[in-house]
Structure 1
Amino acid sequence: MKITALTGISSTVIGELKMGKPRTIELQSANNVVAVASLEPGPDTHLFLTSVDLEDISPGDMGIIVKVLSVNITMKRMIDIIHPVYYEERERLSARVQVRYCGNSMVKSVSAGSLCHPTEVDVVMAAHYRAV
């Protein structure tokens, strides 16, 4: 199954999702925001979540498959003013995605995306683990 990957997700968050309850994750990493920006929530929309960093993801890495329940993209504007000399305006794009755990999975192959395109992985559902 080829699906979009979210990388660098905390092991704690992945463990919490494995308990079965839907959870909302706030994403601020540019590659993860791009990955969910074009998703339409629905019964056939899935993501692969892993704690492995984007640069390090490779075949054999473990993660989980989740179903996407909702997606919300927001722009936050922050202004810092120190009168009369300093004025700085910043914008931060972030995404909130609500997901529900489907199952454990392992990466079979990686299709690296560019800055504006998400990374896709071909995954297989893990039926069991083996000792290495």
Structure 2
Amino acid sequence: MKCAALTSISPDIIKELKSGRPRTIELQSTHNIVTVAEVEPGPDTHIFMTSTDVEDLSPGDAGICVFVLSTSLSMKRVVEFSQGGTMYEERERVSARVQVKFCATSVIKGVYRDGLMKPTKVEVLKSSCYHAG
């Protein structure tokens, strides 16, 4: 299965997602924002999530596949004033929020990069995990 990849995700977040409850994650890194911007939420939409850095992503890296429930992008404007009010700095920060739910653990089979402002895509092998009741 080929899907978009979110990288450099905290191992604690991945562990929490494995519990099966939906979670909303806010992302700040540009490569992850680009990925979320191009993903359409839906019952058949998957994203691969891993704690590996985007530069180090390679076949054999482990992670999880998640269903994409919702996405949103937002911009925040921050204005800082210096003491005395003679100078100020204005910055804008874009962030992406994505609500996901655990699907399966998986391993990367192939990595596809189309450029800096395109999402990183991976081909993954979904692993099945069975628990005796």
TM-score, structure 2 length as denominator? 0.93
Q: Which residue of 2 aligns with 1:120?
A: 121
Q: Which residue of 2 aligns with 1:80?
A: 80
Q: Which moved more, 1:49-58 or 1:109-118?
A: 109-118
Q: Which residue of 1 aligns with 2:111?
A: 110
Q: Are residues 1:94 and 2:111 paired?
A: no
Q: Which residue of 2 aligns with 1:20?
A: 20
Shift of 1:127: 3.9
Shift of 1:113: 3.6
The letter of the residue matching 1:118 is: P
For 1:35 and 1:76, how far apart are their aligned partners in 2?
19
For 2:86 and 2:124, how far apart are their aligned partners in 1?
53
Q: Which residue of 1 aligns with 2:63?
A: 63
Shift of 1:52: 0.2
For 1:113 and 1:76, how far apart are their aligned partners in 2?
28
CA RMSD of aligned residues (A): 1.1
Shift of 1:84: 3.3
Contact 2:35 / 2:119 at 8 angstroms: preserved in 1? yes
Q: Are residues 1:54 and 2:35 paired?
A: no
Give deviations 1:21-65, integer Å, cap 9, x for gaps.
Answer: 000000000000000102211111110000000000100000000
User: Identity rate of aligned residues, in percent?
Assistant: 55
TM-score, structure 1 length as denominator? 0.93
For 1:91 and 1:114, how far apart are their aligned partners in 2?
24
Shift of 1:9: 0.2
In the alignment, structure 1 segments of 5+ residues that lack a partner are: none
For 1:18 and 1:43, how far apart are their aligned partners in 2?
18
Shift of 1:115: 1.9
For 1:21 and 1:113, how far apart are their aligned partners in 2?
32
| Number of equivalenced pairs | 128
